[in-house]
Structure 1
Amino acid sequence: MINSLKLKKWAAILVTSALAISLSACGGTQTASQPTAANESGNKAEAKSDYPQKPIVITAPSGAGGGLDTTARALTKVLGETNLVTKTLTVENKPGGGQAVGLADFVNKDSKDPYRLYLPSAPLIINNLKKEGNSPYSYRDLTPLAQLTKDYGAIVVKADSKYQDLNALFEDMKANPTSVTLAGGSAPGSQDHLVAMLPAVKAGIDPKKIKFVSYDGGGEAMTALLGGNADAIATDISGTGEFLKAGKVRVLGISSPERLAGEFKDIPTYKEQNIDAEFTIWRGLFGPKDMPVDVVKFWEDTLQTMSETEEWKKALEANGWENGFKSGDEFKKFLEDQEALIQEILVSLDMAK
């Protein structure tokens, strides 16, 4: 009896020891159902990013004081004030070639560097599509992060001009194209030119016959208009505010899909005048082409949050910008659509590649 009890006791000890050894061995191997501490959701892609860890540089492909420079500096100021980005943000100006110089410099640097950002506008698309284009690169060589602002084109005449609406202007241009001088602050095939040519084409005018004079910037074009050297100019609506308030100009039409508010509320759109055309002048933020996925997500989320802050809304109002925020697939789709529109206008001008 005693021997039997001893045998059972030793058997129990042996089983317990074997089980302990087995568990110890299993503890050295992690099963698929046991996520790591950095992967508690079981998906490494969802682990929290530690970006950013050092200063960030935003390239504005314009000179200091230009629209892109102003936008980039407003962006860095608001991101800092709201503590959405705690690392230093600086703006680097790379003017030249209607944004082409800055783009080439940006694209040809490290395509994976997440601490470089680029802030262009519509010429990013235009320069790549023109026959005499000055850029082999497009938005496809970058990572679109967000559209930040939107503005619209406008056809403007002097306050004492005989033209009261777009149709009256276009009737004269149809009858005798060279009798009307149309001007803009950019070269033929560039933004101001397209702002004018788009409604003209839709109104049935041969754009190649239009007398278009280009000036070095919207300020010079406005001076030409007020000085009597142009009958009308194509420009951005935000740049007309002070002249409109002073009673110096009349805006015949805006390229927006619907009427704007505030000081521009009485100005009809192209569409209201039976001209089926609209054009958005945008500014947006991009990263290098091979930007890491977690960094793209960081910027999309951060910029979305920033776009809803009071600080950003005040910056928009102070500069006469519209909040045109778009990110992700929505922004990419917008770029594709505008590329198709610009291609159509350039073909009508015989200026497409």
Structure 2
Amino acid sequence: MGLLTIAASVTLTACGDAGGKSGDYPSKAIVVVAPSGAGGGWDKTARSLTKVLSEAKLVDQTMTVENKPGGGGAVFLAEYVAQDKKNPYKLFVSSPPILINNLKKEGNSPYGYKDTTPLAQLTKDYGAIVVKADSKYADINAVMNDLKADPTKVTVAGGSSPGSMDHLISVLPAYKFGVDPKSVKYVSYDGGGEAIAALLGNNADVIGTDISSAAEYLKAGKVRVLAVTSAERLSGDFKDVPTLKESGIDAEFTIWRGVFGPKEISDDEKAYWEKTLKSLNDSEEWKKELQANAWEPEFRASADFTKFLEDQEVLIKDMLTALGMAK
């Protein structure tokens, strides 16, 4: 299976109704909503985005972050499409779940990226298979061998619903190892932070998550990262972590993250965010955030991002079909 690129969800919400002439935009406070609990990739992206936009004075209005968990982003997206399709003060940052939730069989969302306006892709991240620092599992193959012997004996967890991003990260290696992905015992939590808490609390043996969510716990010596889903080894704190391919498992998984706006945003408002997000991408402050969070930059403006999402939709549908999870 080829490179799959997956991402996180954040939303910018106005305090009050959308309003004001587009020439005055933005003229009121903006809230960035992460449609998950605290501590995961979406939450970190929302907080980094608002922090840099404010500190670099790229947006003059007040910006705050709000968490709206539920259904791996599906609950928020349904509310957003119904209530905010004309509200340019509410944006969100999303990742592959916006595609996955719309394409999967179980817990399917009727809404996807076509119900929004993709504004820009900002980053890419990678999946990671993570265990506690004192786990009996020293490498990914030990986990795979136990899953193959008896999948009911290994509890795998992630910060998203079955069929969503963390689930795919968790079961993709097993699928490539010859384990029926439907046999893997997967427990879902609402956000990467909650999944790591479950791991540290001995409520899970292994978790699939994004590498940036595991970074601080790895530095603190609380977890061991058995493998990453990148094509090549990462640098810095992850330089000693093998890729799945190095471990003999032919799988890759890239997590993109980007910013989306309402379906009926005006051309002027869209142009404002394209220009502002390009300035964010080019700023030194953002480069420092990328390094601090173990993210890699990958900027695509609106048209390129939309085309990229069309291509990703095909890849994810193929993957879900292979896993028996497509609608």
In which range does the TM-score fall when normalised by the shorter chain? 0.7 to 0.9
Give the counterpart of 2:25 among 20, 39, 52: 52
Closer/same/farther in 2, CA of residues 269 and 337 from structure 1, 3 Å limit:
farther
Q: Label 1:280 to 1:228 Cα distance change in 2 as closer, same or farther (>3 A).
A: same
Letter in 2 for 1:108: A
Structure 2 match to 1:122: 96
Helix, strand or coil for the counterpart of 2:146? helix
Q: How big is the shift at 1:59?
A: 4.6
1:102 aligns with 2:72: no
Residue equivalent to 1:3: none
Q: Which residue does 1:277 correspond to in 2?
A: 251
Whole-Å separation in 2 of the counterparts to 1:173 and 1:92: 38
Distance, in Å, in 1 between the alignment partners of 2:235 and 2:106 is 38
| Structure 2 residue matching 1:272: 3-state secondary structure | coil
* 1:79 aligns to 2:70 (yes or no): no
Deviations 1:245-276 (A, max 9, x none): 34343211101222211100111112222323
Q: Paired residue for 2:118?
A: 144
* Structure 2 counterpart of 1:258, from 202, 214, 232: 232
**Distance between the aligned counterparts of 2:66 and 2:193, measured in 1?**
23
In the TM superposition, what is the alpha-carbon distance from 1:154 to its structure 2 partner? 0.8
CA deviation after TM superposition for structure 1 residue 285, in Å: 0.9
Count of residues in Structure 1 that have an aligned counterpart in Structure 2: 305
**Is the CA contact 1:59–1:94 (under 8 Å) kept in the aligned structure 2?**
no
TM (norm. structure 2) is 0.80
Question: Is the CA contact (8 Å cut-off) linking 2:32 and 2:50 kept in structure 1?
Answer: no
- Of 56-65 and 137-146, more deviation after overlay is shown by 56-65
TM-score (norm 1): 0.75
Give me the whole-angstrom Cα distance separating, in 2, the residues matched to 1:186 and 1:328. Answer: 27
Segments of 4+ in structure 1 off by > 6 A? none
Q: CA deviation at 1:194?
A: 0.9
The structure 2 residue matched to 1:299, chosen from 273, 294, 299, is 273
Letter in 2 for 1:264: F
CA pair 300-263 structure 1, distance change in 2 beyond 3 A: same
Task: Return the alpha-carbon distance in structure 2 between the equivalents of residues 98 and 318 of structure 1.
Answer: 25
Assess, with a 3 A threshold, how the Cα gap between structure 1 residues 64 and 274 changes in structure 2: closer, same or farther: closer
The code of the aligned residue for 1:106 comes to: Y
- Is contact 1:146-1:327 (8 Å) kept? yes
1:92 positional shift: 5.0
Unpaired runs of 5+ in structure 1? 1-48
Which SS does the other structure have where 1:186 is aligned? coil
Q: Secondary structure at the match of 1:136?
A: coil
Q: Is the CA contact (8 Å cut-off) linking 1:118 and 1:287 kept in structure 2?
A: yes
Displacement of 1:296: 2.4
| Secondary structure of the corresponding residue to residue 116 of structure 1 | coil
**Selected match of 1:340 from 291, 304, 314:** 314
5+ long unaligned stretches in structure 2: 1-21
Is 2:300 the counterpart of 1:326?
Answer: yes
Greater RCO (Cα-Cα under 8 Å, separation 6 or more): 2
Name the amino acid aligned to 2:113: Y
Q: 1:248 to 1:91 in 2, by over 3 A?
A: closer
